[in-house]
Every structure is written in C-alpha cells, then in structure tokens.
Amino acid sequence: MESTTPPASPATPPLVTLRNVSKRFANGTLALQGMSLDIGEHDFISFLGPSGCGKSTALRLIAGLTRLSSGEMHWSGANTGQTRSDRELGFVFQEPTLMPWAKVFDNVWLPLKLAGNSRDAAAPVVQQALEMVGLSRFADVYPRELSGGMKMRVSIARALVTHPRLLLMDEPFAALDEMTRIKLNNDLLAIWREHRFSVVFVTHSVYESVYLSNRIVVMAARPGRVIDEIRIDEPYPRGEEFRTSSRYNAHCTAVSQSLHGALHGIDIDH
Ligand SMILES: Nc1ncnc2c1ncn2[C@@H]1O[C@H](COP(=O)(O)OP(=O)(O)OP(=O)(O)O)[C@@H](O)[C@H]1O
Ligand SMILES: [Mg+2]
C-alpha cells in the first residue's frame, strides 16, 4: 500500500495564521480567548473540545463570518488582516443545508452561480465535484430522495466545487450512523489526499479526530481557549488496519487524557 508521511512541512508558509485571537460577543460572553494557530498547506486539523469551548466560533472567525474582537488573522497571499476570496474556502455545517426545491446538480452549482457562472458553463465542474463524492448518478434527484449520508456528500461537493484551499467542517458527521460516518471519514480522507486542500474539522469525537487528523487542537470552555495541541504522526492512507491498531488506541488514550484536562478545567472554574 502506498504510504506518505503526515504533511505540514514547516518550509511552506501557513495558509492561515491566527495570533492571540479573541472573540467577545455583544452580550459579554468571551467565546474565544487568545487563540494562536498556523493552518499549514495540506494540514488536517481537528478542533476537539466540550460544548461551548468556541469551536464553531473559531471556525466562523477563520471563515470571516464573524469579526474577531482582538488579535490578528492573516491569510497567506493577502495583504491585510482578514482579506481572502470566498472561493478560497468551503464550509460544511452539521446540517447539509441543501435547498429542498432544487436538484442535487443545482445545489452544487450554487457557489459557482453566485460567482456568475452559467449552468452550462459550470456543468463539467459540478459533475466533477459530484464524482468526487461518489454521486455522479444523482445529479437529477431532489435532496428528499437521498439518505442523510448522501445529503452530506452533496454538501461536501458544494463546498469543494470552487476548489477551495481550505475546507472548514463543523461537526459534519455528528448526526450520521456509525457505519455511514466511517465510510464518509474514509472518503473524505481520500478526497483530501488527492486534492491537497487543508481541512479544519470540528468534532466531539476523540476517535474521529485521531483517525482523520495530523493535528488535534484540544479546547476548553469558559472562556473558550486552546489548552493543547497533539500531533498524530501516522502515515496516510489510514484504513481499518490503523483503526484497529494499538497505535491508534494509544493516540486515543493520550487525546482523551488531554480532553479530560479540558473538562476538569471547567470543574475548577465553576
Ligand atoms: N452569537 C452569539 N452570541 C452570544 N454568545 C454566543 C454566540 N455564539 C456563541 N456564543 C457563546 O460562545 C461560546 C462558544 O460557543 P461556540 O458555539 O463557539 O461553542 P462550540 O464549541 O461550537 O460548542 P458546541 O460543541 O455546542 O457546538 C458559548 O458560550 C456560546 O454560548
Ligand atoms: Mg459548535
């Protein structure tokens, strides 16, 4: 089996840099405090932590959907603070958020349509994106005809149709059954390896984060903050052999212990 070492060579500049980034909402909640992070080219980073630790807030800050309160964020190639092109990132939410009245094709076409591409002009790229997620035969069906896992695949195709450099995913597989989730984990890794974008993936699952990531950012709540970063220095591709290995178990134990520290921190604070 072909094997590669984990990515993120320090020689290439990071895609996105966060320095001491904080977010306080208007109601006074400090959702994120002093987060510093370099998102490298072709990193697969998971944000792992208990509810309310600022995972979604951090993702939305990176996406430019929320303004940071203090600190700095920089996209490589951009001159100033938060400047970046919408096409440089794709966002996948926990709910597939598809338009129920539009066919699969039209749902995936949407970002290109918004960028001014006609249906005909976009067709080859939309088909490619559907092929990527294994849904090339489903372009003409409506979302209601699809299973939960297939809807999520459409959502991933829509996020990738612009060939973003960074894919942000907020608990994308949390609502899926275990078997579907494992399949989507494997397919996501295969797509990521082939197309070489970077991923920031939010999850509550230690097992999922270890399986997928080369880096895990462990976070704690009240205030939301980073308490640890753990590297999973294991080669890709990762499959059943890795999932059932003692090394995988050892990583899961280490990450669980770190996460326990995150939860323990809350107990001390309150
Ligand atoms: N728009 C908002 N206005 C005020 N407070 C908010 C807002 N959005 C989030 N918060 C608060 O900020 C903190 C972090 O929220 P966030 O949604 O980022 O956490 P999370 O780690 O994604 O949690 P979960 O795992 O439940 O999704 C929480 O205390 C939350 O209540
Ligand atoms: Mg969240």
pLDDT in tens for each of the 270 residues of the chain?
Answer: 445 555 555 568 899 999 999 999 999 999 999 999 999 999 999 999 999 999 999 999 999 999 999 999 998 865 444 445 556 899 999 998 999 999 999 999 999 999 999 999 999 999 999 999 999 999 999 999 999 999 999 999 999 999 999 999 999 999 999 999 999 999 999 999 999 999 999 999 999 999 999 999 999 999 999 999 999 999 999 999 999 999 999 999 999 999 997 777 544 343
Ligand 1 neighbour 53 (Cβ under 6 A): yes
Dmax (CA) for the chain in angstroms is 59
Q: Which of 33, 35, 51, 263 has most ligand 1 atoms within 8 Å of its beta carbon, as the pocket-test mutant?
A: 51
Across the chain, mean pLDDT equals 91
Burial status of residue 238 (CB atoms within 10 A of its CB: 0-12, 13-18, 19 or more): buried
Rounded distance from Cα 152 to ligand 2 centre (Å): 17
Nearest alpha-carbon partner for 22 in 224, 218, 169, 222: 224
3-state helix, strand, coil in the chain (%, to 5): 40, 20, 35
Ligand 1 neighbour 244 (Cβ under 6 A): no
Alpha-helical (H) ranges within the chain are: 55-63, 104-114, 119-132, 148-160, 178-195, 206-212, 240-243, 246-269
- Compute CA 221 distance to the chain's CA centroid, rounded to the nearest angstrom: 20
Nearest alpha-carbon partner for 60 in 169, 218, 198: 169
CA gap 180, 185 in Å, rounded: 8
Condensed to tens digits (0 to 9), the pLDDT of residues 215-225 reads: 999 999 999 99
Domains of the chain (ranges, CATH numbers): 35-104+168-263 (3.40.50.300)
Ligand 1 neighbour 258 (Cβ under 6 A): no
Ligand 1 neighbour 224 (Cβ under 6 A): yes
Ligand 1 neighbour 27 (Cβ under 6 A): yes
**Which listed ligand is nearest to 51 at the C-alpha?**
1
Condensed to tens digits (0 to 9), the pLDDT of residues 48-93 reads: 999 999 999 999 999 999 999 999 999 886 544 444 555 689 999 9
Return the residue whose CA atom lies nearest to atom 11 of ligand 1. 31
- Tokens linked to 223: 């205030």
The tally of CA atoms less than 13 A away on the side-chain side of residue 25 is 10
- Residue 145: phi and psi, rounded to 5, are -85, 0
CB-based contacts of 88, cutoff 8 Å, min separation 6: 75, 164, 165, 166
Rounded distance from Cα 190 to ligand 1 centre (Å): 31
Rounded distance from Cα 4 to ligand 2 centre (Å): 32
